[in-house]
Structure 1
């Protein structure tokens, strides 16, 4: 069984064969820190290692999935190398053997959107607002998004969402192929739990094998792209463009990129 990591902002519970991972840091819109990544990685590893767990569910609070990485921490203590907490989390979610279901409401920013690419079923609330603002922050895509998004929705739409950092709704996530269904804000989590219960009742080895067949043809390519993105992302964190973008974000002003080539 995986080793639990104590982190009050990540609440892990279990009911039957469902291991539920709740992101709970509402005062910061569930922004993710290094300890939170470690706790989520440990919980997913526990789900895979425990034969009694059939499926993992990732959700946030009632009005927010996650605002992505905590910008203050990223400026003060940026991740370093492929063994950083965020990279370990991405490696875990890429290689997860058992199915992952996501229940999304409110903001799902940055990795809050790209982690959905590695979930097997995604249920959104009508109030969900998804965004991948990497370029606007002077960064680049992560989590294999630059490989997976064009496959899922085509290059033009992937470029629109990544390069222009446009926000999109739960309904659009379904239209674009990122989510399975959208429900009223009061229903999305229950529908996700119902889907988890149905998965948990299926033959477990067959479910794992089917997930493996669905993921395996592109897993090596995704892993390679994820590593290349990760290296570029970490390098970009110290770039002048990213510093200007992040300082402007924290100072609540419009960034000025006019001096950059």
Structure 2
């Protein structure tokens, strides 16, 4: 069974993470499928918007570390790298519905979304430094722009988890929704986006994202440092301790 599931409904492409035994942790095959579904949706005129959703009351617990350690060369064809740059190139709007854990990539991907909704169980974390790594996906640029330098430093350097109320206060999510209504509420908002005039919507998104070149440059720098840290003795020690847990 595929750990990435897709459903197209009335102009909305719903992409779901479903790997319950690993708390929806992303392995490289999941990254590959995510990228393929996004690229296919971009080329399909019937798809007007994307929605990301984690099943089993968990958005994603982050990267599958064991899988990453076996594939640590983060070149341009690495599935995770292709996914990150696919996010930067998306023209159609992206919405996320977050329940439970949103760790690592589970939080950084939200910085690339247009709308983010969460329920009361949502827990966010950016534990890169905890694992002797550096942030990914341009988070070192996007997060300070969104929440301010001091708060971004707290979230990235200490790597502590924070709840939906804190994420909402920091403008990282649009709204906290009742647990049982999260999916349907996010879907209704996504469907409303899908019914907007597509060209005007896409151009407006582009106008709100004027620093694309800077984002690309920062992503490349992040990946270079991430790759180097992934192979460091410091990180290997942290990974061994993490995997033993």
Give the TM-score normalised by the residue count of structure 2: 0.98
Q: 2:28, 2:68 within 8 Å by CA — same for their partners in 1?
A: no
Residue of structure 2 in register with 1:97 after alignment: 91
1:228 is aligned, of 218, 221, 227, to 221
Q: 1:102, 1:121 within 8 Å by CA — same for their partners in 2?
A: yes
Residue of structure 2 in register with 1:255 after alignment: none
Q: 1:79, 1:86 within 8 Å by CA — same for their partners in 2?
A: no
Residues 73-127 of structure 1, C-alpha deviations (whole Å, 9 max, x = no match): 1122324312210010000011100000000010000011000000100001110
Query: Does 2:179 align with 1:185?
Result: yes
Distance 2:76 2:133 in 1: 17
Residue of structure 2 in register with 1:248 after alignment: 241
| Structure 1 unaligned spans of 5+ | 1-6, 253-261
User: How do residues 146-165 of structure 1 correspond to structure 2 at under 5 angstroms?
Assistant: 146-165=140-159
Q: 1:11, 1:24 within 8 Å by CA — same for their partners in 2?
A: yes
User: How do residues 182-221 of structure 1 correspond to structure 2 at under 5 angstroms?
Assistant: 182-215=176-209, 217-221=210-214
Q: 1:141, 1:229 within 8 Å by CA — same for their partners in 2?
A: yes
Alignment root-mean-square deviation, CA: 1.0
Distance 2:74 2:195 in 1: 41
Distance 2:72 2:178 in 1: 37
Q: Runs ≥4 in structure 1, deviation > 3 angstroms?
A: none
Residue of structure 1 in register with 2:40 after alignment: 46
Residue 134 of structure 1, CA deviation: 0.2
Residue 62 of structure 1, CA deviation: 3.5
The alignment covers a number of residue pairs equal to 245
1:131 is aligned, of 99, 119, 125, to 125
Q: 2:50, 2:94 within 8 Å by CA — same for their partners in 1?
A: yes
Give the TM-score normalised by the residue count of structure 1: 0.92
Distance 1:8 1:119 in 2: 24
Distance 1:20 1:63 in 2: 16
Query: Does 2:231 align with 1:238?
Result: yes
| Structure 2 unaligned spans of 5+ | none
Residue of structure 1 in register with 2:29 after alignment: 35
Residue of structure 2 in register with 1:13 after alignment: 7
1:77 is aligned, of 57, 64, 71, to 71
